[in-house]
A = this chain, B = another copy of it.
Amino acid sequence: MERVQPPRLYENLKRLLRRRAFNHTRNLLAKTHPADVAALFRLFDESSQQKIFELVEGTERKAEVLSYLDRDLVANVLTVHDDKKLIDIMTQVSSDDLADILAAIPDDLRQKILKGIADKDQEEVEDLMAYGEKSAGGIMSLDFLALRQETTAEEAINRIRQRSQDVEMAFYIYVVNDREELVGVLSLRELVTCPPRTSIDTLMQSNVVSVNTEDDQEYVAGLVSRYDILAIPVVDSTKKLVGIITVDDVIDVIREEATEDMLKMAGAGDHMVDAMSVGTNFRRRLPWLLITWIGQAIAALIISRYEPTLRAVVPLAAFIPMIVGMAGNVGTQSTTIVVRALATGRVDYSQIWSTLGRELLVGTLLGFLYGALLGAFGFLRYMNSPTINAIALGGVISSSLLAAMLLAVVFSTLLPFILQRLRLDPAVVTAPFVTTVTDVLGILLYLSVATAFLL
């Protein structure tokens, strides 16, 4: 993903702030899209962040900037204003963004804001905060348009006129029955282009794709992305329509989930925010490195058990990194392909054996090629050595490389499928984990083959 930033905005803002040219700064910020203003904050220290937020003019615009701002930075700037001003700004933030913001700030500040805003807003926000952070309820917005079945097109358009201020994206109009259950959907375009007296239940499409408040955000993103829809309605356990999730929030989910999968696969935690702070970064990476440390300690014990072999044929040691390195790399490739294919729905469990077959075939081709190359390399390096049987050495290292690569392919192809089947996240089959297991197996294989054929 390429970086999108208006050119020189950061440099200009930095220069203006350093010169304390606050009027110019105010003008620059007023001309800049609130999303771009929000994206700048991370590049400044906390006191500059506060100054920038202070110089954004108008409570509405401040609220917009806050909606776009990364949640972990919000608390830094909320102390800029007195309580009354703070409440004024917060009242302008939509309830779903407000719920997210409140979840990310200290307790006392949250209580203060909840007490300050109108009772209706408070109730909405507290309802939203009760849902799991990564559930449909947790990411939904309450600004949707629902009309009763018996409404006519004309009445509907009048309703839209009245409410157009507070409804974020009114391109779909949802239709509910007298128990507020979702029964249909129609687009604003259909409403505009039909005779005014038409009842909306004759226009609506009754087969609506919807999700439950408890559904996982990944499932929601999968539906929106598959069906190419702009918003998906959210219903509670009684089928009552309670919110919508718009496609712009789905984009955030998709990017976030991709980031998490990448970090997990590298054993580097699952959150970019954590990865950016020394303390949590250290704690997230610690356990995965411990697993690989233990794996390597086992490998070291195996090697030391084969000391007599290594003492007799010292050059064997030179090829240990090659055997484990190539096996680890081919395993990482297979695991990445399988994890991503499972994540994007290109393969599922029913294709475990055909996928293994294909990976094994590729692994065999690669293993023969690089095994033969290694055998030739070993032979050429030691053909003039008086103490080494260069042909046998070449045979041992080439066949060990092939076998270790095949072992790595089998292990790293099957594991993600099995984890998916067990309803665990295949992305935790991290590259470090796969390389560690293949290291141990590869070394065992290599040194036992060497002992059998070279001693």
What residues of chain A have their CB less than 8 Å away from a CB belonging to chain B? Answer: 1-5, 10, 33, 35-36, 39, 42-43, 157, 160-161, 164, 169-171, 188-190, 192-193, 209, 216, 218-219, 221-230, 247-248, 250-252, 254-255, 257-259, 261-263, 265-268, 272, 275-276, 278, 281-282, 285-286, 288-290, 292-293, 295-297, 299-301, 303-304, 307, 310-311, 314-315, 317-322, 324-326, 328-330, 332-337, 339-346, 348, 350-351, 358, 361-362, 365-366, 369-370, 373-374, 377, 381, 431-432, 435-436, 439, 443
The docked-state distance in angstroms from the alpha carbon of A161 to that of B194 is: 8
**Among A1, A33, A39, A370: residue with most chain B CB under 10 A:** A1
**Known contacts A321-B300, A325-B436, A329-B432, A171 near B188 by CB under 8 Å:** yes
A238 to chain B, nearest CB (A): 22
Q: Which residue on B lies nearest to A191, using beta carbons?
A: B192
B226 touches A336 (CB 8 A): no
**Known contacts A337-B268, A362-B282, A370-B289, A226 near B39 by CB under 8 Å:** yes
Q: Which residues of B contact A229 (CB under 8 A)?
A: 248
**Known contacts A219-B2, A228-B35, A321-B439, A42 near B329 by CB under 8 Å:** no
B262 touches A261 (CB 8 A): yes
A3-B348, A321-B443 given; name 16 further pairs at CB < 8 Å: A4-B219, A5-B348, A43-B350, A164-B193, A169-B171, A255-B258, A265-B336, A266-B337, A272-B346, A276-B346, A276-B358, A289-B370, A292-B326, A296-B325, A300-B377, A329-B436
